[in-house]
Amino acid sequence: MPTPPDAAVLYPDVATCGSLATALRAEAEGGLDPVAVTSSDIAPLLHASVASVLPHREPLQISAWHHERQWSIRGEEPFQGLPLVDGETKDLAEVARAARAWHDGAALEDIRRAAPFVHLTGRFEVPDNDPVRLTESEWQGKAADLEYVWQESYQALIEAAYAEPALRALYPFTSHWALRFSATTRPGLTLCGPCLTAGSDGTYGVGWGFITPDLGLFATPHEAVALAVSHLPPGLGPVALGR
């Protein structure tokens, strides 16, 4: 892998300012003056963060790319450490506008209006960490992800699982085209029921293993979902917080 260029070469304007935090303030032309903007001690030209007035928002993380001139942002909620917003842009002024809106507590949609490069992950804010609402938020995030998923069978699996009330009441998490369920939210997941998978050949698997369909392989996601529901443990209550 080729060695990335020196940060001062890719970002000479930032280097002139001495840090990404200072460059953001300069780009904002006073718009970030009352805002706490800090840079990384280790890589001040590449990383900065902007605090929010809302306690249920982590500081917005801003990172410069190493191989080309571009910036990424990520804004998380603190309990689970999951992103509410992210995005990539070559325009530092746009980053400054997004940072100010995040700091001011603007609604997520309003942050995107202020800086159109911002991508909303689909999750919504749950200030009181209510586990049922966190579960709803995570399902909404899964639905929002589908527009970026090329595998139609995976999209159909998520939609079929969400349509089933017994699964919709559980906290969903995914990896490698596999859908699993938990009786608790992040950060402490409690596995619950079997794993659902979507194959590239259009088949749907159900199994106890991570990707092994040892309980059955089906032609439709609805058959797979029905079998998964039949193997849920009895007496499940509302989703609890994962501590």
Q: Are residues 145 and 238 in the same domain?
A: yes
Q: What is the Cα–Cα distance from 175 to 168, expressed in whole angstroms?
A: 18
Contacting residues for 65 by C-beta, under 8 A, at least 6 apart: 10, 71, 72
* Whether residues 69 and 142 fall in one domain: no
Q: Tokens 């590449």 sit at which residue?
A: 46
Lowest mean pLDDT among 97-111, 126-140, 174-188: 174-188
Q: What local confidence, expressed as pLDDT, does residue 14 receive?
A: 98
**Domain final residue pick, 120, 145, 176:** 120
What's the mean pLDDT when you consider all of the chain?
Answer: 94
Mean pLDDT over 108-131 rounds to 98
Q: What is the DSSP string of 23-80?
A: HHHHHHTTTTTTS-EEE-SS-TTTEEEE--SSTTSPPEEEEE-SSSS-EEEEEE-TTT
Tell me which residue range forms the domain holding 233.
131-242
Q: Are 169 and 239 in contact (CB under 8 A)?
A: yes
Q: How far is CA 67 from CA 2, 12, 23, 48, 128, in A?
A: 9, 14, 19, 18, 40
> Which pLDDT band, with edges at 50, 70 and 90, does 1 fall under?
low
| Residue 146 confidence (pLDDT) | 82
Assess whether pLDDT exceeds 70 at residue 86: yes
In the beta sheet, which residues pair with residue 74? 61, 86
pLDDT of residue 176: 74
What are the structure tokens assigned to 221, written together? 């996601």
Instruction: Kindly report which listed range (39-43, 95-99, 146-150, 204-208) carries the lowest average pLDDT score.
Output: 146-150
Single residue among 120, 139, 158 that ends a domain in this structure: 120
User: End of a domain among 62, 86, 120?
Assistant: 120
Whether 116 and 145 map to the same domain: the answer is no
The per-residue pLDDT for 46 is 97
Is a pLDDT exceeding 90 seen at residue 213?
no
pLDDT score, position 83: 98
Q: 71 and 32: one domain? A: yes
For residues 114 and 135, membership in a common domain is answered with no
Lowest mean pLDDT among 62-76, 79-93, 151-165: 151-165
